[in-house]
Amino acid sequence: MSVALRAEAKLFMRQFSNTSVYVFACAGVLLIAPMAKADPLKFFTSDPNLPDFTAGVTYYGTFINAPFGDLGGAVPYTPTTAQVNAGLRVYGNDSVDPVVVDFGLAVFTIRVFPNIDNFGSSYDGYQYSILGSNDNVNYMLLFDVTDVTGSVEPFTVAKGGPLYRVNNVLTPGAGPNGTVGYIADFWFVQAFQFFKFEASTFARASGDVAPEFTAVGAAIPEPSSLLLLTAALAGLTLSGRKLLRQDERK
């Protein structure tokens, strides 16, 4: 290796090492709060405290299509935490006039705050399917519910796919026409800017094609994913520093 190339490689390795240490520290800070509140091993949870979920939202997406609701269907509409606490809702009419949320940029993780108006009905917490797009024209189906388990609350669905966790109880925010509940976290393998919400297959079969929502937020990464990130960065940092030391001895 030439002297110039060796010098460039050493500079890159030092910069990467320093950057990794900084990112590692930031990830560690983000890790502390979620670990205190969430169990990454639980798929279904039963936390009735709404602030535990609004605290995990970095920002709320903007409803750019939401034809009906407590605010008269006015869009664009970006909920605030106060409006989530008040249990205000928007809803659409399946694929004819669906709810569409714009995050302004592509995101991998979202937290859905459904608004439950038929508590005790098995479909109501799983009333929606999710489609993703980056141009608000071409959409890809990301999530759908075809079956729900249970005859009484709380209801469950099959684990797996992009659905990461469901808090399958009510979490008031009790609004004028429904209550926040069945808050769900999703992780997608591809990032999308726009998310369209239509009725799920199960909801259609149950005769209700108007899924209701209080908000959809961009979610803070969960502890398990942060642990994987920090472990990977730590390994790369140690490897880089080891190579630097070996090269400097030559």
pLDDT for 152-179, tens place per residue? 999 999 988 999 999 999 999 999 999 9
Best CATH choice for the domain 42-221 from the list 1.10.3430, 2.60.120, 3.30.70, 3.90.930 = 2.60.120
pLDDT value of position 72: 87
For the chain, what is the mean pLDDT? 84
pLDDT value of position 160: 83
Task: Taking residues 27-34, report their average pLDDT.
Answer: 46
Distance CA 99, CA 164 (A): 22
For 17-51, b/e burial (b = at least 16 CB within 10 A) is beebeeebeebeebbeebeeebeeeeeebeeeebe
Task: Taking residues 141-158, report their average pLDDT.
Answer: 97
- Asked if residue 24 lies in contact with residue 234, where contact means CB atoms within 8 angstroms, the answer is yes
Distance CA 195, CA 117 (A): 22
Residue % of the chain over a pLDDT of 70: 72
Residue % of the chain over a pLDDT of 90: 68
Its pTM surpasses 0.85: no
Residue spans of the domains in the chain: they are 3-35+226-249, 42-221
Strand partners, 195: 101, 132
Range name among 2-11, 30-39, 75-84, 231-240 with the lowest pLDDT average: 30-39
Residue with the two structure tokens 């869009």: 75
pLDDT value of position 79: 97
Q: What sign for the dihedral angle of Cα 77, 82, 85, 87?
A: negative
Task: Taking residues 14-42, report their average pLDDT.
Answer: 48
Quick check: 126 pLDDT over 80?
yes
Q: Which residues contact 103 (CB under 8 A, 6 or more apart)?
A: 59, 61, 62, 110, 193, 194, 195, 218
Quick check: 2 pLDDT over 70?
no
Pick 19 or 52 by higher pLDDT: 52
Distance CA 201, CA 101 (A): 20
- Other CB atoms within a 10 A radius of the CB of residue 97 amount to 16
pLDDT value of position 39: 47
